[in-house]
């Protein structure tokens, strides 16, 4: 079992990093902002205004609100605000499913912390746990149950919507259904495993401890093993799906929608752009005739007959 845990962790981390690095390494693009941009001063965010409303803005120090983004991202991540505003039926199920995943992640995190504490010598899930560490183990159990209930309910609702809603069904692929089924299996197997009794949590906790300490894993405890395998499958599958929007959101918002930074002469960004302009072009239309030798500067500087 620990080997599967190592494999899951490795694929999850490497797969996610690969996707992140691919995005980060993409060339500096042209601006494509959309207002409101939350790092503008609150007085402007209120109606969606920008620094470009100011006369001679390039001569003035720019006032920004670094915390403004949090005011948008937190309600978006934790309350799914935009979905709430537009589609309440979808929101109910999506909200439950997302909170199931958040709580599940929290339970995993607490298990990891608890394992480290216990490995350091203070009982958490073992006999003798008292006070705050015992409370920690109780919290893991409560969080896991809450994750299972909300997540499974959310998944069932989402699946029904995807299958029966005329609004969504034509835009639902096999992969979308598969994603939901996997998440449902994750939560469903969890609920069955938890209902076996507290030994399930103890087994999962001990598995975590053994993986951290590179020691032999405890013998599989009933359905908890199945639950663990669904966790592993989901973890391995996750980086290759659109569910990576969990962290890609940073780029879609901060690097595109809110990236309003004007070009400044002599900046690193300007040098990146100059390098991009020197790349060969192969677009074939008559007014471009990119032959793989001409670069963007050649194409843009073309005059008269060169522009067909």
Partner 1 sequence: MPKSLKVSDISHPVEQLAQVRPDELMPLPPPYDKIEEQPGWKEISPAQRQKYEASLDGVVAVGVPIPATAEEEDRLVEGFLSGLKKLLTKENNWTFLQQLMLSIDHCARCQNCIETCPIYVSSGYNDIYRPTFRSDLFRRLVSKYIKPGGKYFGELKQGAIELNWRTVSRLLELAYRCTLCRRCAHACPIGLGNALITHELRKLFSMEFGYSPKEIHDKGSMLQLKVGSSTGMNRLAVMDNVEFIDEDMSDLTGLSVKSVWDKEGADVLLIHNAGEFISWPENPGAFALILEAAGISWTLSSELAGYDGINYGLWYDDAQFARVALLHAQAAKKLKVKKIVIGECGHAHKALTVIADRILTGDLSVPRESALVLLREIVMSGKLKLDPSRNDFPITLHDPCNMVRLMGIVEPQREILRKIAPKFREMEPHGVYNYCCGGGSGFAIMSPFNFQDWRLSVSGRMKLKQIVEAFADCPGPETPKYLCAPCSNCKGQIRDLFRYYGVWEKQRILYGGLVELIVNAMVDIKEPFIKWEFH
Residues 44-83 within binding reach of partner 1 (CB under 8 A): 44, 47-58, 76, 80, 82-83
Residue 14 to residue 8: CA distance in whole angstroms: 10
Which window, 132-140, 222-230, 231-239, 274-282, contacts partner 1 (CB under 8 A)?
A: 274-282
Q: Is 285 in the site for partner 1 (CB under 8 A)?
A: yes
- Contacts of 260-267 with CB under 8 Å at 24 or more apart are 260/31, 260/33, 260/37, 260/50, 260/51, 261/31, 262/58
Which window, 3-11, 131-139, 197-205, 237-245, contacts partner 1 (CB under 8 A)?
A: 237-245
Shortest spacing between CB 293 and partner 1, in angstroms: 12
Shortest spacing between CB 216 and partner 1, in angstroms: 38
Quick note: the x/- pattern for partner 1 over 95-114, rule CB under 8 A, is --------------------
Task: Name which of 95 and 137 has its Cβ closer to partner 1.
Answer: 95
Return the sign of the alpha-carbon dihedral for residues 100, 106, 109, 115: negative
Query: 92-111 as b/e, with b when 16 or more CB fall inside 10 Å?
Result: bbbbbbbbbbbbbebbbebb
Among 21, 34, 70, 160, binds partner 1 (CB under 8 A): 34
Residues from 210 through 229 that contact partner 1 (CB under 8 A):
none
Shortest spacing between CB 26 and partner 1, in angstroms: 4
Shortest spacing between CB 100 and partner 1, in angstroms: 16
Q: Is 268 in the site for partner 1 (CB under 8 A)?
A: no
Q: Is 33 in the site for partner 1 (CB under 8 A)?
A: yes
The phi, psi pair for 295, rounded to 5°, reads: -100, -175
Shortest spacing between CB 193 and partner 1, in angstroms: 28
Q: Which H or E element spans position 161?
A: helix 131-164
What's the token pair of residue 302?
């073309």
Shortest spacing between CB 178 and partner 1, in angstroms: 8
- Which of left, alpha, beta for 61 (phi over 0: left; psi -120 to 50: alpha)? beta
The beta strands (E) that lie in 254-299 are given as: none
């Amino acid at each position: 079992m620990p080997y599967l845990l190592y494999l899951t962790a490795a694929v999850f981390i490497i797969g996610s990093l690969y996707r992140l690095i691919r995005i980060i390494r993409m060339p500096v693009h042209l601006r494509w902002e959309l207002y409101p941009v939350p790092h503008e001063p609150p007085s402007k965010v209120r109606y969606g205004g920008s620094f470009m409303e100011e006369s001679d803005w390039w001569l003035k120090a720019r006032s920004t609100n670094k915390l403004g983004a949090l005011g948008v991202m937190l309600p978006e991540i934790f309350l799914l605000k935009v979905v709430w505003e537009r589609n309440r039926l979808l929101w109910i199920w999506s909200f439950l499913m997302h909170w199931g995943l958040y709580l599940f992640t929290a339970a995993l995190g607490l298990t990891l912390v608890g394992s480290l504490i216990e490995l350091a010598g203070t009982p958490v899930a073992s006999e003798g746990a008292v006070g705050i560490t015992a409370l920690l183990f109780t919290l893991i159990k409560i969080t896991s149950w809450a994750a299972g209930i909300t997540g499974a309910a959310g998944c069932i609702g989402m699946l029904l919507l995807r299958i029966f809603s005329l609004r969504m069904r034509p835009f639902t692929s096999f992969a979308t259904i598969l994603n939901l089924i996997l998440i449902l299996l994750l939560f469903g197997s969890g609920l069955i495993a938890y209902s076996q009794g507290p030994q399930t949590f103890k087994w999962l906790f001990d598995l975590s401890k053994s993986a951290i300490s590179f020691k032999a894993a405890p013998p599989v405890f009933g359905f908890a093993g199945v639950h663990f395998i669904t966790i592993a499958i989901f973890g391995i599958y996750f980086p290759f799906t659109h569910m990576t929007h969990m962290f890609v959101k940073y780029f879609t918002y901060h690097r595109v929608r809110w990236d309003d930074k004007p070009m400044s002469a002599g900046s690193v960004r300007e040098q990146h752009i100059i390098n991009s302009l020197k790349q060969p072009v192969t677009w074939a239309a008559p007014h471009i005739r990119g032959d793989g030798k001409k670069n963007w500067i050649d194409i843009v500087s073309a005059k008269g007959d060169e522009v067909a």
